[in-house]
Amino acid sequence: MLQTSYVKYIGTERTTFFSHDVKNFKPRERWQWRLSNSATPVPRGAFPFVGSIKRLGTVHALTSTTPPDLNPKLLTPREDKKANYVPVYVMLPLDVISTENQLEKPEELRIKLKTLKSADVDGVMLDVWWGIVESKGPKMYDWSAYQQLFGIIKEEGLKLQAIMSFHQCGGNIGDIIYIPIPKWVREIGMSNPDIFYTNKRGTRNEECLSLGVDDQPLFSGRTAIQMYRDYMKSFKENMKDFLDAGLISDIEVGLGPAGEMRYPSYPESQGWVYPGIGEFQCYDKYLQEDFKAAAAKVGHPEWKLPGEDAGDYNDTPSSTKFFRMDGSYITEEGKFFLTWYSNKLMVHADQILDEANKVFMGCKIKLAAKVAGIHWWYFHPSHAAELTAGYYNLTDRDGYRPIARMLSRHNAILNFTCVEMQNYEHPRGAKSGPEELVQQVLSAGWREGIQVACENALSRYDRNAYNQILKNARPNGLNKIAPSKLRVFAITYLRLSDKLLEENNFSIFKNFVRKMHADLDYLPNSDKYFVPIETMARSKPEILIEDLLEATKSEKPYPFDPEPDMPVGGDNLFDVLFVLFGKIKSIFT
């Protein structure tokens, strides 16, 4: 009988499975497939049954148009439903640790954490500010306030997502406090301002260091990447007990402003207002020299960085020569610049994540990287706001899948924002497309075989926002007889506040958590039913930039259902009465 080879792609790796002829495969049947060289069963759904067959040598290969299975475990029917449980984390306030490195109002915080726990929240997310911990001088770390805070979180039975925050707090949307990067680093910038990102007018941005100094030994003999590495090493050493106890589920590595992997292209501190296109940030001397050398290497020493033709922070694409319909961005020089600009960002992230992997190797945690949800001008041909931020994304060029491929070598989570937004909520003139952007980015991550996580960009307390998050978290709904093929790894809600804890708001939020948990009770180790968090192994070999860029080929995203199948409110009589009671109560209070 003719054998058929079923091919499963995880990132760029291909695993081949041999089975009976295609005609013998029955949908939803619990087959015990086995690798040809192994006795290990291959789980149900590990390869699809919908696709096109093409000849590969003497066997046939089934190439799929359906999503990959991201849950490589054999589960019982009861466990299958648990695999639909999406953990919910809540971001703690930005100022929970003061600029004087003191835990603010610990007993009041403890009460709020107990309240979160009463809603079956799985954990919290927290910025671990470089500017606070290493404020007194190079390698002079003070973790005492964070150790106190971690202890309280552990005592309250919550997990923790820790952000290595190598950026300033202040100058971005939602920033309510000013926490600069360490003073001794800023003092170096007084004599050498080119350590900071710079726009075409020479305006410096001190909220984080330019990626141009990643490998420059300007900081008491250390490079920027070495400083980040040493900070993470000190964190690991001082938080060893918490790491060993399983308190920390993942480490999100700060890679730019607001902790995001991007350039600071739209700083409110410099006058940017939504939906301005932003400005390129590559005019410090280190990046200028790098671009000049790169252009000369390809035989075009005459090529220059974009100038006034790229417009100002609050311009529209059509008002600039660079981003207009027939603009410079589609010329050979423009394409070269945008490729260089976005590639520098990927290399920057890859190098820092590689150091993070070395530091945390052996710990039972995952690494994560945050990608910004720049949804305005998404429906303009140039995607101008994405381009200035470093995401070279066009209608015919995927700017996010190469990032996902880079993350795949570190087995890192891609954390994406703006999952609460819908297109109609934004001015038509902004050509905003958060729904399509989320669909594109999550699909990019899933196609590269990595886990994706999400968070809301703005604080929201309404059912519409919660239902949009639910739709994106399980875009094809709850699968009651098998794990969802498409499902995010976790959701982080932004953020803990007095307003969230108001009775009506918190009642809706508790319902949201319940729906995110697939109407299941709290599961303390929910990852074991989906993709278990394992001891961190060494990152895979570096992926050549040419191989990363192969992922820019544009493909249709996976289809998302128009509505969540388990919405907050209105999906049963109890929810209807719950919502009605809340509305009546709000009238009289």
How many residues would you count in the chain? 589
Give the active site residue among 134, 252, 260, 386: 260
Q: Assign 543 to helix, strand or coil.
A: coil
Which helix (H) or strand (E) is 209 found in, with range?
strand 204-209
For the chain, helix, strand, coil in percent to 5 are 35, 15, 50
355: its two tokens: 């150091």
422: its two tokens: 């819908």
Instruction: Give residue for tokens 């007084």.
Output: 190
Any catalytic annotation for residue 420? Answer: no
CA separation for the pair 468, 470 (Å, rounded): 5
CA separation for the pair 194, 204 (Å, rounded): 8
CA separation for the pair 548, 336 (Å, rounded): 16
Cis peptide leading into residue 275 (ω within 30°)? yes
Looking at the DSSP bridge assignments, the partners of residue 97 are 103
CA separation for the pair 465, 497 (Å, rounded): 17
Residue positions forming the annotated binding site for substrate:
127, 167, 175, 370, 375, 417, 456-457, 495
Ordered DSSP codes for 228-288: HHHHHHHHHHHTHHHHHTT-EEEEEEP-SGGGBSS---S-GGGT--TT--------SHHHH
Residue positions forming the annotated binding site:
127, 167, 175, 370, 375, 417, 456-457, 495
The pairing of strands 41-42 and 33-34 is antiparallel
Any catalytic annotation for residue 386? Answer: no
Q: Would you say 446 and 64 are in contact if contact means Cβ atoms under 8 Å apart?
A: no
Burial 13-51 (b: 16+ CB within 10 A, else e): eeeebebeeeeebeeeeebebeeeeeeeebbbbbbbeeb
CA angle, 256 then 438 then 280, to 5°: 35
Catalytic residue IDs = 260, 455
